[in-house]
Amino acid sequence: MAEARQENRRVLWGAGTPRTLRAHWILRELDLVYESRPIGPRTGETQTPEFTSINPSQKIPVLQDGDITLSESAAIVTYVAEAYGKERGLVPTALKERARYYQWCFFTMMELDADTTYVIRRHEDLKHLYGEAPNAAKAAREIFRKQAGVVEKTLAAAGPYILGGQFTGADILLTTCLTSAVRRQIEIPESLRKYVDRITQRQAYQLAQQANQREN
């Protein structure tokens, strides 16, 4: 952290997960120069004294941007979009539009990430670490499907992006949750597959995918 502050550098910690992808993606959307420290989860790299002093919760991603150090992927996406992407509309400036932006960010992070996809990941793929919990994983799949249905209706009523005509940081969060769901064999409606296919064609997404590789 001291390093980033002293030299006013931008440093992104973390790679290899959908959450770290979000941070790489927003930086690439805005063509921002940054230094990548591609540390990974469950490698011990988030437990070092250096990283713990940067993020006591020992989680990635973390962005150091001059004198600010931020964790939480949704906060990083929103901060970068507001700080450097106002003219691109990546976070709406009008209060009520911004309120809808927050609504979709929080909805996505809770309903499609923490409450569902992450429960499934923890108790299926990572059951050796977190324990087997088939009922919890089954319920999480059902909840995901139900909440994905809400997204489907919203996009059908006023797409092509979750806030309507404008691509925003909320689409970054949503897309990464939907791609994670597909990877976990959670069925998503055809229209959401098309949404993902369209958005993942963005050059910034492709560049972020490369940057998010652990071997980089």
Q: Which residues of the chain form contacts with ligand GSH (CB under 6 A)?
A: 17, 19, 41-42, 46, 58-61, 72-73
Nearer to ligand GSH, 83 or 189 (CB): 83
Contact between 184 and 4 (Cβ < 8 Å): no
If the CB atoms of residues 86 and 214 are measured against ligand GSH, the closer one turns out to be 214
CB of 178 to ligand GSH, least distance (A): 15
Minimal distance, residue 74 CB to ligand GSH, in Å: 6
* Nearest distance from C-beta of residue 129 to ligand GSH, angstroms: 9
Q: Could you give the dihedral angle defined by the CA atoms of residues 71, 72, 74 and 77, in that order, rounded to the nearest 10 degrees? A: 20
Toward ligand GSH, which CB reaches closer, 110 or 156? 110
- Among residues 58 and 69, whose Cβ is nearest to ligand GSH? 58
Instruction: Please report how close the Cβ of residue 71 comes to ligand GSH at its closest, in angstroms.
Output: 6
Minimal CB distance residue for ligand GSH: 41
